[in-house]
Structure 1
Amino acid sequence: MDVDASTNSHEAREAAIVTTTEQVDQAMDVDPSTSAGPSGVTVQRTIHQETVTTTTTTASFPGAAASRELATASSSDHAVPPARPASSSAFRSSPALTNGHAHNHSSPGPSTFQTPNSHHTHLHNPVPLTHVASQDPDQKRMVRTGYIFDPLMMLHCQDGYTPTAETVLDNGDGHPEEPMRIKRIFTRLAESGLIKRMKKLEFGEVTAEQVMLVHTEDLWSKVQATEGLNDQFIQESKHYYEQLSLYVCRETAHCARLSCGGVIQACLSVCRNEVRNAFAIVRPPGHHAEPDEHMGFCFFNNVAVAAKEVTRLGLAKKVLILDWDVHHGNGTQRAFWDDPNVLYISLHRHDGGKFYPTSDFGALDMVGTGAGEGKSVNIPWPGPGFGDADYIYAFQRIVMPIAYEFSPDLVIISAGFDAAEGDMLGGCHVTPAAYGHMTHMLAALAGGKLVVALEGGYNLRAISDSALAVAHVLLGETPMELGALEASEAATEVIYQVAQVQSTHWKSIDVKACEPPEVTALEDGSSPIHSIPELLKIHRAYHMHAKYDLLQIPLASPELEAAFAGQIICNEGVYEVGPKGVLVVFVHDFGNLRVETDGVTSTNIHLANSYLIDTSDAIVSWIKSAGYNIIDVNVLKQLPTEFAREGPRMITKNAPEIEGQLIRYIWDNYVELSECEKVVLIGHGTGCQAVMDLVNKRDVERKVKAVVQVAGLHSLVRIDPNNIQRKDWFKRSNRIFVPSSHILLDDNRVCRRLGDQVFTSQKAKVVDVLNDVLPQIKQFVSEKVGDIPPVPVTNGHTESNGQTNGDLAGSLVAPAVTA
C-alpha cells in the first residue's frame, strides 16, 4: 500500500482509498446495495455525500426558508432509516432523529418517509408552520450529532501489519493499537443505521501553530521527521520507540495530524452550533502525549490541543475533559496542570503507580498547582476488576457533583474503551450500557455540547459495542437499562479517599455520604473489626511495658490464652520477695468503654481513654514506688462477648466462669509460688467479681492481708455465708468503695451485713470512683501490710473527702460485679 500520506487534497485521499485493498474498501461501504463504479470509488462517494444526503433544513438550501420544506437526497443510499421497533431489547424506542428533526412513525400517512427499499424518498407535506414556530429557530436548524472519520488514519500501522479479519475479536500477539480499531467502530455504526442519522464533519490536518498550543516545537519536529524515515532507519529505531510504547512508519505523522485535526473540528462544530454533539472516531490516540514527549501509542494530545484551540478562539471559556480510559491521561493532566479553566477528571487503574504510565501522577492527591489547584481530579482504581457499579458510583459521588459546580461550556470525553468487559489490557468489566449511562449524564452539562474523542480500547468487539452504545445516546436515545448495582468495597474506599481530598476544593463533595459502610466480615468469615476496647487493651499493655517495664505472663491453658492473651502482665522477679515482701494483684476491666459510658448520652472517646490510662498509671505508679510486686490482670475478654442476663441481680454467688478460672490459674501458678507473704487483692469494676470468686474458692486467708473492691454501679459477689472463719477474716480485711447513688445503699439488710466495710464516693463512673478514693486505698493497704500504723475509722464509713459518714444506708453496697 504505497500512498503519499502528505497529501491534503480530497482527490488524493479518494485515490488513496481506491488503491487500498478491496477488503478494507468494502468494509467502508455504508450501503452494500450500491453497485455503480469500483468498490473504492463507491466507498468514497458514499462517505463524502453523507453531509448532504440526510434531511436538511433551510440552512443548507437557500430559498427553502419561506416554505419550510425539507429536501431529501435523490439517492436511495441515503434514505432515512425507519425507527427501530418498540420491542427492541437493547434500547428503548424513541423518535428517529435526522438532522435534528423527529419523525413520528406511529401514524401512517403521506407525511411519512418511504422505506429504504424505494428508489426515491420524499416528504410530501412540509412541516407545519405552527410546529416550527414553537421551537427555537437555531435549534431547529441544528443537526444533532456529527462524526469525524477518515480511513486514511488506518495507514499508521506497524511494520508487516496484516489487517485483522472481520471474525477476529482480538488481534492476539499483534500490536493492540491497530488500524482496524476505527474501521470496526465505523462499520458497526453504519450497519446499525446510525451513520446515516449523523452528519459527517469535513476536517483538515492540525497545523503546527495549533499543536504548539500544547506541545513544544521540538516534539512537532520529531513527529514530522517520521515522514522521511527509510525502512532501514525504521528498523534500527524500533527499540527506541518501543521504550516509549510507540511504533512509527512513514504515514505516522500524517495520521497524527488527521487525528488531532479531527478532534479539533469536532469541538469547533459543536461550539459553533453546527451540531449539538460529535463523535470523533480517530487514531492514533492522544491522552498520553506530554507537552514535550510522545508516548503510550500517542503522538499529539488530540483532546488537549482541541481544548486549547476552542478557548483561544473564545468559543468556550471553561472546558471539562472526562477521561474514562483505563490508563491515566498523564499528558492531558500535564497540559492543564496549572490552568483554572480546564477541569480534568480521570477514572483509571493506578495499581499504586505500577500500571501504565507507571507514575504517581495519577494518584488521588494529584490535584493541580497554582491557579489550577483542584482542577485535576483523579479516581485511581487499585487494581483490575472494576465494573459498572464502581464507575456509576464514582460518577454519582465525585464526577457529576464537581462537574455541575464547575459548569463547563464544553465537555470532551477522552473515550478509551479499554476498561470494557473483554479488554485483556485493561482487565476491567465496564459494559456498553454503563458507557451509555455515563455519556447520558455528561450530556446534561454545557447545554448538551459534548464531544466524544476515541482514545484507547483494544478488543475489537468491545470497542464496537461500547461505541455503539455511546452513539445511540448522542443521537438522543435512552441508554440501555442497567440492573441492580452495588459498588465494590474497594471502589467505595477509593471514592471516600478522593472525596476527602477533593472536598477542600469543591463544596459539592459530601464526604459523609461517601463514607464506606462498615465491613462486617472478611473473605474467610473472620471479623475485620477491632473495637475501641480491644485497641485500648493493646495500647495499655504496650504503655505499661514501655513506662513500667511490665512483662506479659503466658497462659498454658488454650481456653484462657484465646480469651485473655497479652492481658496478664507483671514486674520482673514477681516470684521473688521484693523490697517489701508485698505482692499486689490488681484485677480490672480497663478498656471496657461500654460499661464506662452506661447511662451517658454522649461520650468523648479521647477523654474516656485518658481516664482509663491515667487511672491505671496512678495505681501502677503507686505500687511500683511503694516497692511492691505487681500482677496486673485485665479480665475484659479478647473478643467482645454477650452473656445472658438473668435479671438485675446486684448480689450474686459467683463470677463468670471464665474470669473465675483465670484468677484461680494466676493464684495457683504465680501467687502461691511467690516468696511474698503479704498479698493484696484489688478489684476494679467487673474485676471485683473475679477477686471474690478467688476468695470463696481458694484458701487465701494465710497470704492475703487486704481486699479492696471499687465496684462502681456493678453488682457484687458475696462472701460464702457458710464459712464463719472466712467471714470474720473478710470483715477485717475488706474495703468496698461505691458511688453514693448505688442502689444497694437502699437495702437495709445488706447495710447491716456489710456495715463498716463500705465507703462511698460522690463520683458516678467507676474510673472516677477509683481516682477519688485512691488515697484511702493507699492508707488502708499500707496499714494492712504493716508499712504504717492503722488509723481509727468511726463506724467504718467516711465520705470520699475523708469525713465521717454516720448514715450507714447512705454509703453501702455489696462485693463484686455481675454484667
Structure 2
Amino acid sequence: MAEPMDVDNEGPSTSKRTLTRSISVPFQPPKDLTVGYIYSTEMTSHFDPRGHQEAPERITRIWQAIVNEKYNTKMQWLPIRPVTKAEALLVHSQNTWDLIEAFQYMSEQQVVDSEAYYDQLSLYVMAGTTRAARLSCGGVIEACVAVARGRLKKVFAICRPPGHHAEPDQSMGFCFFNNVAVAARVVQKLTPIKRILILDWDVHHGNGTQRAFNDDPSVLYISIHRYDGGTFYPCGEFGSMASCGEGAGLGFSVNIPWPEKGMGDADYIHAFQRIVMPIAMEFAPELVIISAGFDAADGDELGECKVSPTGYAHMTHMLSGLAGGHLVVALEGGYNVDATTNSALAVTKVILGEAPDPLPPMRASETATETIYLVAKEQSKHWKCIDTKGCEPREEVESISFSIPEILKAHREHYLYTNFQMMQVPLLSVLENPFTGQVMCTRDLFENKTLIVLAHEFGNLRLELESSATCDLNLERSYLIDFTKELMRWINSEGHALLDVNLFPKPFAAQNTKRSHKKTGRYDEGTALLIYLWDNFIHLSGAQNIIFIGHGPACQPVMELIDARCSFFSAIFTWLLLTRFPVVNSITKRVKAVIQVVGNGKVPVTPKKSDELRSWYGKCSYVLLPSNHYIFGPESNHSWKKHGMLCPVEESQPVKIIMRGLPGIQDFIKAQLAKRS
C-alpha cells in the first residue's frame, strides 16, 4: 500500500508535488478513531550513498509491517508538514536553522568536501537532508498538538532523522532538529497543556533533550541509557545519575545510566517500577512523549542490549496509564531494521488498546539493581516517592534477611509460648514449609474436655503514613493489630484448651486460596491444613466439646472442613464406622459451636449434605456481621435463615467486629456448653 500524501503549506514550489501525490493516499479510517500516525516517504530523501546505520529502511519497514497487520485501518492519518522557523527557534539557535536550511542548496562536491567535518559530529548531509529533517520535526509537532488538543488520544510518529541528540546550538548524533523538544515547546505555547513528561528509552542519552529543558521544571525528562562511565555516546558526565538539572529545573532531569552492555527486559522493568513510574506519578504529567529509540533492542549491534518487543510493549503500557492516556510515541534510534520493526509493531499494538504479551518470570541483574539503588539515592533528594531502602539490592544479604511477616509470625510464636505455654504442632512436610510455627496448641490438647479451635489469617498491619500524597510510611507509628489477644486471655482464664491456627501461608508458598474445591478438585492450603489437624489431632483428642471460631477469610476453610468430613464419613464409610469405629458424625456430636466473624464479603456457605446436618448447624451457628452487610438488605435472598444466630455489629472491619462482639461470643460459648452438658 502506498504511503499518505504530504502537505507543505510553505510555498508554491510544492503544489505540483502535492497534486501528483494525491492519488497515492491510502484508505483513510473513520474520523472518530482515537489513535493516529504520522508517516511519509519524503523523509527517506535523507540518505547516505555510502551506506549508514541511520537508513531510510528504518521507517519504511515499520510502515510496511503496520500495513501488513492492517493496523493502519485502525489509526487516523495525520497530514505531515515541515517545521516552521518560528517553531524551530523555540529550541534552536538561528545559526542551527540556517545551517540545516543550507543543506538543500549544496552541490555534490560540497557534500563530499564536508564529509570529514560532519563525520566528527556523527552526521551525514545531502540536499535531501533539509526536507527530511523539517518533515520529521514537523511530524512530531503535529502528533503532539493533535493529542494535546484532544483530537486523538495516542499517536505514533514514524519519523526520521531522529532528534534527541540535537542540542539548541548544535546538530549531532544522526540528529538535526530536536523533534520532541520543539514539539513540547509548541504544545506549551499553543495549548493549555504545560506539564509534559518526556521518557527517553533510546540506548543513548538524549543530551539535546535534557539540554533544552535542563532548567525548566515544566518538563520532566527521564532517560534510560547506556553510560559505561561516560564513555558511551554521546560521552561525558551530562548523562550521569548526578546530572539532575539546574536552577529551577533541578530534579526534573532523571538519568538511569547503565554501566555496561547487555541490559534486558527485567532490568528495564525494574527501572520503571522503582524509578520511572513513581516519579512520573508524583509529577502528574498532562502529556507523555516517548523518545522511542529501539537501539536497546536485542540484536542491535550499536546498543548491544537485550530488550525484547514484549519489554517495549510493557513499558508503553505502563506509560499509557499516565496523563489520562494522552501519549505520543516518536521514533528515535534503532539500527537493526528487523529488531526495530518488531519492537515498533509491539508498541503499536499497545497504543491500539491490545494488552502486551506476557513476560516470563524475570529477575533484574545485579548490575541493574545496584544502578537503580544508586539512582534512587540521588533522586530521593528531589522526589518524595522514591523509596531508597526498597531499592536496596538484596542479593548479598538475602540468605540472612527476613521479611516483615516472618518477623511478626516469629514474634507471635514467642508470645504464645511465653504467655500461654503453647507449643508448635508437628506438620506433614507438605504443610511444614508454608505453615511452620503457625499452628500452636496448649499442653492440655489431648486431656481437656473443651477445645477451642481459633482459625484466622495474618493480623492487620496498621501502617501510619507520613504523607497521603506520597504514601511514605512512618515506621515508628506503625504496628500490628492482633485481635486474638483478648480472646485467648479469656479462653485461658476459663481453663479451655486452645488450638491456634494461622492460615496465612508464608510469602514463598504457592497460594491458591481464591479457588474453590468444586472448581479445582482439591482444597487450598488453609482447608488442607484444617483437615489434617482434624484427622490427626482434634478428632483424636479427648475433647467432648469443640468450638470452632473462624475470623475473616478463615471462615471459608472452617466450613469446608465441616462439609468435607461430614460427607466423607456419612457417605462412604458410615456402615464401617458404625460397626467398628464410634466416630461417625463426630463433628455433629462433639462440635458445640461454629462462630464466624466476617466482614462485608460473602458469607460462607452453609452445609448442604443433609437435612440433619443443616439442622445441627442452625442450632450451633453464631455469625457476627457488620450491620450494613448486604445479607440484611432488601436484595437478600433470606439465606441468613440458614445460619442460626446472626449478630449485627455497628462496625465494618472484621478486626473491630470481633473486638465489639467479644462479649457476645463469650456468652454464646457459655450457653452452648451449658446446654449440651
TM-score computed with the length of structure 2 as normaliser = 0.56
Deviation at 1:312, TM superposition (A): 1.3
Alignment correspondent of 1:517:
394
Structure 2 residue matching 1:275: 3-state secondary structure: coil
1:153 corresponds, among 43, 52, 72, to 43
Code of the aligned partner of 2:321: A
Alignment correspondent of 1:429:
306
* CA spacing shift, 1:385–1:209, aligned 2, 3 Å: same
Distance 2:12 2:192 in 1: 26
Deviation at 1:203, TM superposition (A): 2.8
Distance 1:270 1:15 in 2: 28
1:245 corresponds, among 101, 122, 130, to 122
Deviation at 1:306, TM superposition (A): 0.4
Alignment correspondent of 2:202:
325
C-alpha RMSD of matched pairs (Å): 2.1
Structure 1 residue matching 2:25: 3-state secondary structure: helix
Alignment correspondent of 2:367:
490
Task: Indicate conservation of the 8 Å contact 1:7/1:13, yes or no.
Answer: no
* CA spacing shift, 1:335–1:16, aligned 2, 3 Å: farther
Task: Indicate conservation of the 8 Å contact 1:13/1:152, yes or no.
Answer: no
Residues 782-817 of structure 1: CA deviation (Å, up to 9, x unaligned): xxxxxxxxxxxxxxxxxxxxxxxxxxxxxxxxxxxx
Structure 2 residue matching 1:360: 3-state secondary structure: coil
Residue 309 (str. 1) matches residue 186 (str. 2) = yes
Distance 1:438 1:359 in 2: 27
1:370 corresponds, among 232, 242, 247, to 247
Code of the aligned partner of 1:328: H
Deviation at 1:317, TM superposition (A): 1.3
Code of the aligned partner of 2:319: L
Deviation at 1:273, TM superposition (A): 1.1
* CA spacing shift, 1:507–1:283, aligned 2, 3 Å: same
Residue 257 (str. 1) matches residue 134 (str. 2) = yes
* CA spacing shift, 1:367–1:432, aligned 2, 3 Å: same
Distance 2:13 2:182 in 1: 23
Residue 507 (str. 1) matches residue 487 (str. 2) = no
Residue 45 (str. 1) matches residue 15 (str. 2) = no
Alignment correspondent of 1:380:
257
Long gaps (5+) in structure 1: 18-40, 57-98, 100-142, 162-173, 522-526, 528-819
Alignment correspondent of 1:739:
none
Task: Indicate conservation of the 8 Å contact 2:149/2:191, yes or no.
Answer: no
Code of the aligned partner of 1:357: P
Residues 309-358 of structure 1: CA deviation (Å, up to 9, x unaligned): 11112331100000000000000000000001000000000000000001
* CA spacing shift, 1:7–1:234, aligned 2, 3 Å: farther
Distance 2:12 2:161 in 1: 18
Query: What does residue range 621-632 of structure 1 map to in structure 2 within 5 Å?
Result: none
Residue 55 (str. 1) matches residue 30 (str. 2) = yes
* CA spacing shift, 1:246–1:12, aligned 2, 3 Å: farther
Distance 1:410 1:226 in 2: 33
Code of the aligned partner of 1:147: Y
Alignment correspondent of 2:227:
350
Alignment correspondent of 2:152:
275
Task: Indicate conservation of the 8 Å contact 2:7/2:80, yes or no.
Answer: no
Answer with 1 or 2: which has the greater Rg: 1
Deviation at 1:518, TM superposition (A): 3.5
Alignment correspondent of 1:477:
354
Residues 177-208 of structure 1: CA deviation (Å, up to 9, x unaligned): 00111000010011011011100001311111
Deviation at 1:10, TM superposition (A): 6.8
1:144 corresponds, among 31, 34, 50, to 34
Task: Indicate conservation of the 8 Å contact 1:153/1:283, yes or no.
Answer: yes
2:279 corresponds, among 399, 402, 407, to 402
Code of the aligned partner of 1:55: P
Distance 2:124 2:192 in 1: 35
Distance 2:290 2:20 in 1: 31
Runs of 4+ displaced beyond 3 Å? 3-17
Alignment correspondent of 2:296:
419
Distance 1:277 1:10 in 2: 29
Structure 2 residue matching 1:203: 3-state secondary structure: coil
Distance 1:8 1:320 in 2: 37
Structure 1 residue matching 2:288: 3-state secondary structure: strand
Residue 213 (str. 1) matches residue 90 (str. 2) = yes
Distance 2:254 2:196 in 1: 14
Alignment correspondent of 2:643:
none
Residues 42-91 of structure 1: CA deviation (Å, up to 9, x unaligned): 6x232xx42xxx234xxxxxxxxxxxxxxxxxxxxxxxxxxxxxxxxxxx
Deviation at 1:149, TM superposition (A): 0.4
Distance 1:487 1:379 in 2: 14
Deviation at 1:445, TM superposition (A): 0.5
Count of matched residue positions in the alignment of Structure 1 and Structure 2: 393
* CA spacing shift, 1:501–1:176, aligned 2, 3 Å: same
Task: Indicate conservation of the 8 Å contact 1:8/1:204, yes or no.
Answer: no
Distance 2:230 2:136 in 1: 29
Deviation at 1:363, TM superposition (A): 0.2
Distance 1:518 1:152 in 2: 52
Alignment correspondent of 2:176:
299
Deviation at 1:144, TM superposition (A): 1.7
Structure 2 residue matching 1:279: 3-state secondary structure: strand
Deviation at 1:12, TM superposition (A): 3.9
Code of the aligned partner of 1:363: S
Residue 179 (str. 1) matches residue 71 (str. 2) = no
Residue 466 (str. 1) matches residue 343 (str. 2) = yes
Alignment correspondent of 1:28:
none
Task: Indicate conservation of the 8 Å contact 2:40/2:80, yes or no.
Answer: no
Distance 1:198 1:235 in 2: 41
Task: Indicate conservation of the 8 Å contact 1:155/1:251, yes or no.
Answer: yes
Structure 2 residue matching 1:295: 3-state secondary structure: coil
Code of the aligned partner of 2:329: V
Deviation at 1:519, TM superposition (A): 2.7
* CA spacing shift, 1:395–1:8, aligned 2, 3 Å: farther
Distance 2:17 2:81 in 1: 12
* CA spacing shift, 1:520–1:444, aligned 2, 3 Å: closer
1:451 corresponds, among 317, 322, 328, to 328
Task: Indicate conservation of the 8 Å contact 2:164/2:179, yes or no.
Answer: yes
Task: Indicate conservation of the 8 Å contact 1:149/1:280, yes or no.
Answer: yes
Task: Indicate conservation of the 8 Å contact 1:319/1:410, yes or no.
Answer: yes
Residues 408-429 of structure 1: CA deviation (Å, up to 9, x unaligned): 0000000000000110100000
**Structure with a larger share of its residues in helix:** 2
1:189 corresponds, among 48, 66, 69, to 66
* CA spacing shift, 1:151–1:247, aligned 2, 3 Å: same
Distance 1:9 1:452 in 2: 31
* CA spacing shift, 1:4–1:253, aligned 2, 3 Å: farther
Structure 2 residue matching 1:413: 3-state secondary structure: strand
Residues 381-434 of structure 1: CA deviation (Å, up to 9, x unaligned): 001000000000000000000000000000000000000011010000000001
Alignment correspondent of 1:129:
none
Distance 1:340 1:213 in 2: 17
2:77 corresponds, among 200, 216, 222, to 200
Deviation at 1:13, TM superposition (A): 3.9
* CA spacing shift, 1:248–1:4, aligned 2, 3 Å: farther
Residues 616-646 of structure 1: CA deviation (Å, up to 9, x unaligned): xxxxxxxxxxxxxxxxxxxxxxxxxxxxxxx
Residue 359 (str. 1) matches residue 232 (str. 2) = no
* CA spacing shift, 1:16–1:331, aligned 2, 3 Å: farther
TM-score computed with the length of structure 1 as normaliser = 0.47
* CA spacing shift, 1:12–1:188, aligned 2, 3 Å: farther
Distance 1:280 1:435 in 2: 16
Distance 2:319 2:78 in 1: 22
Code of the aligned partner of 2:62: I
Distance 1:400 1:277 in 2: 19
Distance 1:437 1:373 in 2: 29
Structure 1 residue matching 2:99: 3-state secondary structure: helix
Deviation at 1:210, TM superposition (A): 0.5
Q: Share of identical aligned residues, percent?
A: 55
Query: What does residue range 3-14 of structure 1 map to in structure 2 within 5 Å?
Result: 11-14=15-18
* CA spacing shift, 1:411–1:183, aligned 2, 3 Å: same
Task: Indicate conservation of the 8 Å contact 1:247/1:297, yes or no.
Answer: yes
* CA spacing shift, 1:195–1:230, aligned 2, 3 Å: same
Distance 1:244 1:8 in 2: 34
Long gaps (5+) in structure 2: 1-5, 400-677
